[in-house]
Amino acid sequence: MRQNPKPVVLLLAAAFPGLALAQSVETRLDPVVVTGSRIEHNSFDLPAAVDVVDSSRIGADQARVNASEALASVPGISVQNRQNYAQDLQISSRGFGARSAFGVRGIRLVADGIPASMPDGQGQAASFNLDRAERIEVMRGPMSSVYGNHAGGVIQLFTADGKGAPTVEGGFVAGSYGTWKADVAAQGEAGGLGYVLDASRFATDGYRDHSSAQRDQTSAKLTYAPDEYSRLMFVANGFTQKADDPLGQSWNTFRNNPRGSESVAEQYDTRKTIDHMQGGLSYERRFGDQTVQVSAYAGQRSVIQYQSIPRSAQLITGSTLPNAAVRKHSGGVIDFDRDFSGLASRWIGNFALAGGKLTTTVGFDYEQSTDDRKGYENYLSATVLGVKGALRRNEQDRVASFDQYAQAEWQGERWTFNGGVRHSRVAFKVDDHYIATGNGNDSGSVSYEQTTPMAAVLYKLSPAVNLYFSAARGFETPTLNELFYSGSNGGFSYDLKAATSTHLETGIKAYVGDDSRLDVALFQIKTNDELVVASSSGGRTAYRNAGQTTRRGLEAALDSRWGGGFTSRLVYTGLDARYDEAFTTTVLGVATAVDAGKRLPGVATHTLFGELAWRHAASGFHAAVETIARSKVYVEDSNTQQAAPSYAIANLRVGLDRQLGPLNLRGFIRLDNVFDRQYVGSVVVGDGNGRFYESAPGRNWLFGLSARYAF
């Protein structure tokens, strides 16, 4: 018997005619995800804010170099291209991670089951290979708490399996600022072994002065099914990069010469070299309604980075810094070799219970990384700068995490209940081998333990409307880089606390007619012991724990398919992130009060993305217009320095896909920032030199061609 419509259904139906009348919706509006529940699950029926960026959007007339290309249309996520390949992308989720001066923190990154985040929470999105990506899953909110040490969410990339007849593919793109990329790939299946192989080279002169980069990536994925109940997967990735570092810009430099860099970038020849390789093996075995999964991985990463820290700040005599701070200064050249590895296992069981389906998951994750880290002066004399000089640091840093978790989901006809708990322990250990006059022994250890529960419920108001509510506790340890210079004597800090957070979220997922889907999420996050900049001087940033912060926000996405081959996507993110308690920080060398109510830096209050696309099925011709708007962003905690202004830009793209027998040809042209707006693309939060701003390109173009042949 059909139940009487609920008042909320009537309200929604009035707002969106046709709501709750949907009978068939294309699969693209309800993709399958595994992030969150760790099993295949329709995103519509998951009580969480989760988005899937499929291969068509990842490769939507883009160079497929940076994750910012693919994730611009995801609500709640801010992915800014710094135009600086030495510092990676700036990725934040609900404001978490916006403070990171380089790399990604506060967000769990995973690629084909191998973490791209280290045990301390610091990650590198540059190692994501977008050329062979089948999809990227992005989860924000409480359910992501069962992935451990982070607070903002989870981003997972999945590579397609090799299937069917062999195919080979080659592509080339070229664009503004001397940018180009070449890619070759092969995939297929032979004797039951699926394979995907890919290699690419990317190079650019850079939009800004002193920002050239070259990147080589290789990847391999092999899959094999010994029988119908089991599956083996092997993945390997290589990544090398050489990049100049243009540094941040002062406000005057940005306004007067947005393509310029500060003079110290050239003076010290700031640059970074990365060599990264990793491999992993996973095995899955089904036993009736139960599944066991085991995976292991290992890798190595070497980094040499030349910074612009002034020679005067490192001199034992004549420095303007306190003598103790100078003697403990670790120099202007970072040089480390990192070995990392991990082991994970989980059991998944499915049972019939109380007229519904119960799915349980129990597992553990072990991860470790060991750095042989050295620091050198970045000079030989007052006139020979930007070279490796005397040793100022020599230590081994080890981070290990061991987590155990359990999850359960009961799914009935109209109700779904989810629950989970994870216990995490993250341990840091430092063995200091550089002990000199005025520089004592910084050896020591510190560990953090946290239990993070999660609960969620989803109710199906109708076949086209789902409501959900979820709650969780989360935590975020300091990273190694935040611990390094935060001690009372300028050395390693063993006193910083992990930030803990309470997450609440409610949302609605609804089909509007047969061809649209609406997702809306409201959330509140209370964080204690938020990590903030305590001071920044001599090229070193120290951190401290502040009081409580509150993040409140709204995320909304509407996907629609119109007649005549038109589709659209509209995304809005509203985020109010503030300090609840006052504290003191140092801004440009001056102790400054941060009053309660000040906004968290690096976070935009309003972000809007819109896209209208058209495709002619018969000819393969397609075109789209994109718009991106963002409100102003504060650059430091006191909100007194010049904020990065709001902006709005438009992008255009056109392309053609043609199938000629076994040959598939593709080509595209895109024009970004059509109206040639000058704007700040990203900010360096709390920079002690006042170089807060990183300008984005003006009008720029990209052209690409690719061909794929199936044997």
Mean pLDDT computed over 294-314: 95
Predicted pLDDT at 325? 60
Is the pLDDT at 321 greater than 80, yes or no? no
pLDDT band at 43 (very low <50, low <70, confident <90, very high): very high
Predicted pLDDT at 327? 73
Predicted pLDDT at 487? 78
- Reported as a single tens digit per residue, the pLDDT across 591-604 is 889 999 999 999 99
- Reported as a single tens digit per residue, the pLDDT across 629-647 is 999 999 999 999 999 999 9
Predicted pLDDT at 26? 42
Predicted pLDDT at 12? 40
Residue 438's region, left for phi above 0, alpha for psi from -120 to 50, else beta, is: left
pLDDT band at 658 (very low <50, low <70, confident <90, very high): very high
Predicted pLDDT at 541? 83
Residue 345 structure tokens = 């296992």
pLDDT band at 94 (very low <50, low <70, confident <90, very high): very high
Mean pLDDT for the chain overall: 91
Is the pLDDT at 28 greater than 70, yes or no? no
Predicted pLDDT at 317? 66
- Tell how far CA 699 is from the center of its chain: 26
Predicted pLDDT at 383? 94
The domain limits of the chain are 7-710
Residue 48 structure tokens = 């969480």
Is the pLDDT at 397 greater than 50, yes or no? yes
Distance of alpha carbon 426 from alpha carbon 420, whole angstroms: 20
CA of 711: how far to CAs of 188, 314, 460, in Å? 10, 62, 47
- Reported as a single tens digit per residue, the pLDDT across 179-197 is 999 999 999 999 999 999 9
Q: Which one, of 370, 513, 509, 492, lies nearest residue 442 by Cα?
A: 492
Mean pLDDT computed over 381-401: 95
524-527: Cβ within 8 A, 24+ apart: 524/550, 524/551, 524/552, 525/94, 525/151, 525/501, 525/550, 525/551, 525/552, 526/501, 526/502, 526/550, 527/151, 527/499, 527/500, 527/501, 527/502, 527/551
CATH number of 7-710: 2.40.170.20
pLDDT band at 538 (very low <50, low <70, confident <90, very high): low
Mean pLDDT computed over 21-47: 76
